[in-house]
Amino acid sequence: MSASVEPTPVSPAAGARRRRGRAPASAVFLLGLALAVAFGPPLCRWFGLDGESIDLLRRLEPPGTGAPLGTDELGRDLLVRLLEGGRVSLAVGLLGALLAAAIGTALGLLAGFARGAIDALIMRATDIVLALPLLPLLVVLAAVDPGKLGVPAELVASAAFDVTRIVLLVALFGWPTTARLVRAGTLSLEAAEFVRAARALGASPLRIALRHVLPGLAGPITVATTLAIGQVVLGESVLSFLGLGIRPPTPSWGNMLTHAQELLWHAPLLALWPGLAILLTVTACNLLGDALAEAADPRARRP
């Protein structure tokens, strides 16, 4: 009878070092993806690959020299559309996360410095927003017809309006996490010697917040923003998949999946590439955010 071999336990410090070791790979992947979606479509068009021209005679072609990843249901080059869709999805993720971080930072600083009724009001608003079911709420708000709100039809039909609408919706409900982090950091740093010295020298609260407190909170804000990028990309993909986000003919990874679901058995590659792009992007953002969080935590660096 053979003896069972128990797995060697891994110490928390070794596990933290292993997770931090994934940060360079995640950062390189995200940087390469950003460069690809920024410069890929112009280069593809320079090589004669077009993601907009419809050619029904070339529909659902397999990967080959004429189309590196094949063509979609309308004969459009899948590689070009994947890169153009990535440009839209990443833009929404980055802008939405940055705007949410800016709103959360401003409210967190205000709550930390103002205290009293203002602090209580901001924190209760934070609790309310965190308690809301985010995805159903985004679906309901995204389904509202802007034309009935008085928005001109020409503006509603533009791709920039779709991007702006999703970014604003995400930022409207994505700020509480950053606000809580910034408020907690502000309350901690207010007791520091350099902050008390600046206050004794007559520095205004605004100057103290921007010149002394905010630089000390750059680490937590960066971590929260990095994690939020992946969440926003995933949220945009869900809304676009449901037909409530980026609308055709503008490609995004989410609406590419919408068209691919009808041809899943006949052309599974149409769903594979955008789905894989979403999976890798969200995973890379989460791994990078986790590694940055552990690097900023002194307890995680102890042997």
**What CATH number should be reported for the domain whose range is 74-297?**
1.10.3720.10
Domain edges within the chain: 74-297
What pLDDT, in 10s, does the model give residues 201-260? 887 878 888 888 888 888 889 989 999 999 999 999 998 888 888 888 888 998 889 888
How many other C-beta atoms are found inside a 10 Å radius of the C-beta of residue 66?
12
pTM: 0.85
Angle ∠(25,227,240) on CA atoms, nearest 5? 100
Q: Please state the length of the chain.
A: 303
> What pLDDT was estimated at residue 99?
95
Residue 230: phi and psi, rounded to 5, are -65, -40
- Residues near 97 by beta carbon (within 8 Å), at least 6 away in sequence: 170, 174, 225, 226, 228, 229, 231, 232
Taking Cα atoms as reference points, which of 18, 17, 23, 20 lies closest to residue 284?
A: 23
| Residue that is written with structure tokens 């070092």 in the block | 17
What pLDDT, in 10s, does the model give residues 204-214? 878 888 888 88
What pLDDT, in 10s, does the model give residues 132-150? 888 888 888 888 888 777 7
What pLDDT, in 10s, does the model give residues 166-178? 999 989 999 999 9
- Residues near 51 by beta carbon (within 8 Å), at least 6 away in sequence: 41, 44, 76, 77, 78, 79, 80, 81, 83, 84, 251
> What pLDDT was estimated at residue 299?
52
- Omega into 176 within 30° of 0, i.e. cis? no
- 15 pLDDT higher than 60: no
Widest pairwise Cα distance in the chain: 79
The 3-state DSSP composition of the chain as helix, strand, coil percent (nearest 5) reads 75, 0, 25
Q: Give the Å distances, CA to CA, from 64 to 49, 60, 299.
A: 12, 12, 52
> What pLDDT was estimated at residue 2?
46
Distance CA 284, CA 271 (A): 20
